[in-house]
Amino acid sequence: MNEQLFAFGKNWESFVKKYLDQERIQEAKRSLAEFLGISSLEGKTFIDVGCGSGLFSLAAYRLRASRILSFDADADSVKCCEYLREKEGFPEHWKVETGSVLDGDFVSALGKYDIVYSWGVLHHTGKIWEAIENTAGLVSECGMLYIAIYNKADGIALYPDGRFGSSKFWEKEKKFYASLSPFVQNLADYMVMSALILMYLLTLRNPVKIIQSHKKNYRGMSWRIDIKDWLGGYPYQYASVAEIFAFVKKLGFSLENLKCSNGLLNNEYLFIRISTPENP
């Protein structure tokens, strides 16, 4: 069985074309501003590392960031972001590029930014620590680093969102899923969605309400798209809060905000740069 990568961009294309609406955009804006602890990005530069659908680049634009750069290694993700930029009339201060966070020469040429954002991306590179270090290098003096990384889960618990098992189990599952044909992947998606709906019913929860509220509880995302992303997001790595904190602290940052999943979801981190290699 040949090892394959998950088609992240194709999944995001479905999200942008089928599900993205103004309500989801508002939720993205709200979640971004809330975690950063600011109501506007006016006067701030913003870079979206691994922009995916481009939704949070759009959120930064709507929050009036002074300059935005979005980039992704996945060509289909870049197309999604370009599509959203086109919808906004091709603003001059919002640029979209193709590139990898693991390409040191590419990253070093991008400059420094007040807000460096990378949500649920760096653990999909296959080289998580290198990706985090390269991303942190984009943060300007006193700038903010907002990253989300899958939590390291060692148990076999059943979590409230229907997920279960350890991170190691899901690494194997994702690798297997990514090797399947698109038809079989879609079949697996519907089997999982059916099982989740049954679980909601058996636990006396309203499936319709849960699915409809997903965009509010998960940053404007889609229940359907997130299930495919969770099943197939490979490469897949993970880290504990302590591991991320210790690593980023050594890069000259202090922790400003933290949201823990205590399960298999992403932990969200907001770091502030307090020193640079030139000014320790």
Label residue 280 by pLDDT band (50, 70, 90): low
For residue 65, give the nearest of 29, 98, 89 by alpha carbon: 29
Domain membership of residue 137 (yes or no) is yes
Distance CA 121, CA 101 (A): 10
Domain membership of residue 3 (yes or no) is no
Question: Is pLDDT of 160 > 90?
Answer: no
How many angstroms from the chain centroid is the CA of residue 225? 13
> pLDDT tens, 57-76?
999 999 999 999 999 999 99
For residues 141-150, give the mean pLDDT.
Answer: 97
pLDDT value at residue 2: 41
Structure tokens at 234: 């490979």
Both 259 and 221 in one domain: the answer is: no
Asked whether 153 and 238 are in contact (CB, 8 A), the reply is yes
Both 253 and 121 in one domain: the answer is: yes
> Within 13 Å and on the Cβ side, how many CA atoms surround 210?
16
Domain membership of residue 1 (yes or no) is no
> pLDDT tens, 177-193?
999 999 999 999 999 99
Both 132 and 257 in one domain: the answer is: yes
Question: Is pLDDT of 144 > 50?
Answer: yes
For residues 49-55, give the mean pLDDT.
Answer: 97
Give me the phi and psi of 143, to 5 degrees please.
-80, 175
Which of 200, 216, 232 marks a domain boundary?
Answer: 232
Distance CA 65, CA 55 (A): 14
Asked whether 113 and 137 are in contact (CB, 8 A), the reply is no
Both 225 and 263 in one domain: the answer is: no
Question: Is pLDDT of 235 > 50?
Answer: yes
Q: Which residue has the higher pLDDT, 132 or 160?
A: 132
Both 148 and 12 in one domain: the answer is: yes
Both 98 and 192 in one domain: the answer is: no
Both 119 and 185 in one domain: the answer is: no
Both 92 and 191 in one domain: the answer is: no
Question: Is pLDDT of 276 > 70?
Answer: no
> pLDDT tens, 107-126?
999 999 999 999 999 999 99
Domain membership of residue 160 (yes or no) is no
Q: What is the pTM of this model?
A: 0.93
Both 95 and 27 in one domain: the answer is: yes
Give the total number of structural domains in the chain.
2
CA-based angle 110:125:214, to the nearest 5? 100
Both 129 and 211 in one domain: the answer is: no
Both 173 and 147 in one domain: the answer is: no
Lowest mean pLDDT among 13-17, 157-161, 184-188: 157-161
Burial of 50 (C-beta count, 10 Å sphere; 0-12/13-18/19+): buried
| Domain of residue 185, residue span | 167-232
Both 225 and 246 in one domain: the answer is: no
Q: Which residue has the higher pLDDT, 263 or 88?
A: 88
